[in-house]
């Protein structure tokens, strides 16, 4: 039986195996010309794909071979993310790819259908990750308590983690589009459950004062660190990464010697003490890195109010005493906050010290990050202009200062409602 006559404009469509095929001459990213084929069960399907391919070829270079997500993820992490982004970002992207993206989508091509991507993210959301990752099975037999003994703990991912997985896939497919390896980014249209922002905690002025008074009364060696976090809003990594030369000690010493004292509190008011912030201490995987700050706007020289200047000066003298007592065991690092042997303070250990101090002071437990938010909230309660608060907290965007870190206190709310009621009454 003779083959069906081709319709107008279908010169490249022909019968192929159990359906039809077609090709279009395209220019590859390397500049060479070649044929790219499309396939389908019916002539209409192939004709639709053929028209789309013609349109892509008219716009610019077209990739003739689409890599799998697994192979492209390996290249993207090693050649794009690792050399160009921060170590913390690389670790976060690598974990998302290794645990979730590659196991679920690794065998699919970069131009995967949006339906496949949505089905995958839905499956990740409802899957117990303790079962999927075999966490309970890796425990010793006597300590297995859930999945390995057929008692699923239903350890599903939080909405924030799902959002991070989607961002990782979107970033990777976005780079593939820039390199013209993928024609679309299906991660942009993935739907996730609506996430309600968690209510952040913060202290009022009385709680913050009780916390600092407790640390000072007990002679806590990290009292100066607590002061810097609460008064200047330093991030934990920035505070732990402060070097001994962040302050001009020589200038202060000259002022003190004029009064024939080694530690003159009165000089604080006379001598403008500035704290230079340009480094941070971060635990990234198995490495403890002393590297540049989070963003260029994080680098700043902040004037130290007397409470901070006195606390930091005392810390500097305590470090000199610890160095003398440790003798040859002193590691000689130039950090302002160290252990009694001069080694860096682990960020997680500082969290533990902070929690113990909250308990000892009898104040509500908040995280170190919430203490930074407390600084913003207290500045708002003092009617400090938001632009000034933004400069103190060193935010890159004004919206972060207003929406995340500053919370109107209940006292302010009551006062505002009283004034409104009085005006209407």
Q: Indicate if 41 and 89 belong to the same structural domain.
A: no
Nearest Cα to 334, choosing from 325, 343, 322? 343
Whether residue 308 sits in one domain with residue 366: yes
Collapse the DSSP code of 19 into the 3-class scheme (helix H, G, I; strand E, B; otherwise coil) and give the result: strand
Domain shared by 93 and 116, yes or no: yes
Q: What pLDDT is attached to residue 179?
A: 82
How confident is the prediction along the chain (425 residues), in pLDDT tens digits per residue? Answer: 344 544 544 557 888 888 899 988 888 766 788 888 888 889 888 898 888 888 888 887 777 677 899 999 999 999 999 999 988 899 999 999 999 999 999 999 888 889 999 999 999 998 888 888 888 788 888 888 888 788 888 888 888 899 999 999 999 999 998 887 887 899 999 999 887 666 778 888 889 899 999 999 999 999 999 999 988 888 899 899 888 777 766 666 666 666 555 556 566 555 567 788 888 888 887 888 888 876 666 666 787 787 888 888 888 888 888 888 888 888 877 888 988 888 899 999 999 999 999 999 999 999 998 888 888 877 877 777 777 777 777 776 766 666 655 555 566 666 766 776 676 65
In a domain, 6, yes or no: no
pLDDT at 394: 73
Among residues 148, 165, 189, which one ends one of the domains? Answer: 189
- The C-alpha atoms of residue 249 and residue 130 are separated, in whole angstroms, by 52
Exposure class string for 188-206: b at 16+ Cβ within 10 A, else e: eebeeeeeeeeeeebbbee
Residue 5 resides in a domain: no
Same domain flag for 407 and 262: yes
Domain range for 31 = 14-59
d(CA 412, CA 391): 23
CB contact at 8 A, 187 and 169: yes
For residue 87, the domain's CATH number is 1.10.150.130
**Which residues, other chains included, contact 30 with Cβ-Cβ below 8 Å and sequence gap of 6+?**
none
Distance from the first to the final alpha carbon of the chain: 94
Query: Is 375 found in the same domain as 301?
Result: yes
What pLDDT shows up at residue 350?
94
Q: What is the pTM of this model?
A: 0.73
In a domain, 138, yes or no: yes
Integer Cα distance of 186 and 201 in angstroms:
36
For the chain, what is the domain count?
A: 3
């Amino acid at each position: 039986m003779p083959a069906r006559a081709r319709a107008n404009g279908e010169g490249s469509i022909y019968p192929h195996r159990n359906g039809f095929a077609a090709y279009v001459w395209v220019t590859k990213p390397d500049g060479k010309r070649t044929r790219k084929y499309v396939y389908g069960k019916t002539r209409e399907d192939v004709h639709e794909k053929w028209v789309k391919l013609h349109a892509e070829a008219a716009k610019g270079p077209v990739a003739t071979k689409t890599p799998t997500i697994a192979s492209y993820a390996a290249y993207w992490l090693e050649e794009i993310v690792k050399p160009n982004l921060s170590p913390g970002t690389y670790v976060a992207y690598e974990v998302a790819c290794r645990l979730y993206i590659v196991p679920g989508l690794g065998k699919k091509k970069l131009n995967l259908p949006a339906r496949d991507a949505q089905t995958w993210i839905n499956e990740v959301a409802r899957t117990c990750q303790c079962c999927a990752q075999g966490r309970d099975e890796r425990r010793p037999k006597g300590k297995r308590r859930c999945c390995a003994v057929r008692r699923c703990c239903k350890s599903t991912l939080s909405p924030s983690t799902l959002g991070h997985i989607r961002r990782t896939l979107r970033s990777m497919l976005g780079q593939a589009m820039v390199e013209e390896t993928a024609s679309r980014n299906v991660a942009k249209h993935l739907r996730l459950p609506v996430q309600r922002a968690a209510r952040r905690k913060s202290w009022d002025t009385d709680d913050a004062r009780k916390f600092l008074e407790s640390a000072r009364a007990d002679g806590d060696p990290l009292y100066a660190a607590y002061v810097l976090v609460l008064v200047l809003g330093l991030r934990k990594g920035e505070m732990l990464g402060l070097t001994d030369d962040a302050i001009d000690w020589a200038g202060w010493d000259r002022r003190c010697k004029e009064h024939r004292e080694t530690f003159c509190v009165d000089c604080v008011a006379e001598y403008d003490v500035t704290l230079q912030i340009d480094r941070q201490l971060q635990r990234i995987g198995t490495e403890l890195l002393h590297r540049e700050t989070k963003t260029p706007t994080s680098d700043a020289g902040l004037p130290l109010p007397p409470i901070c200047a006195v606390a930091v000066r005392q810390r500097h003298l305590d470090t000199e005493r610890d160095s003398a007592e440790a003798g040859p065991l002193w590691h000689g690092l130039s950090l302002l906050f160290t252990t009694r042997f001069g080694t860096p303070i682990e960020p997680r250990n500082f969290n533990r010290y902070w929690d113990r101090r909250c308990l000892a002071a009898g104040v509500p437990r908040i995280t170190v990050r919430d203490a930074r938010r407390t600084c913003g909230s207290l500045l708002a309660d003092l009617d400090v202009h938001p632009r000034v608060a933004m400069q103190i907290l060193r935010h890159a965007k004004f919206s972060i200062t207003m929406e995340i870190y500053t919370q109107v206190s209940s006292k302010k709310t009551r006062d505002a409602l009283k004034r409104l009621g009085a005006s209407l009454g």
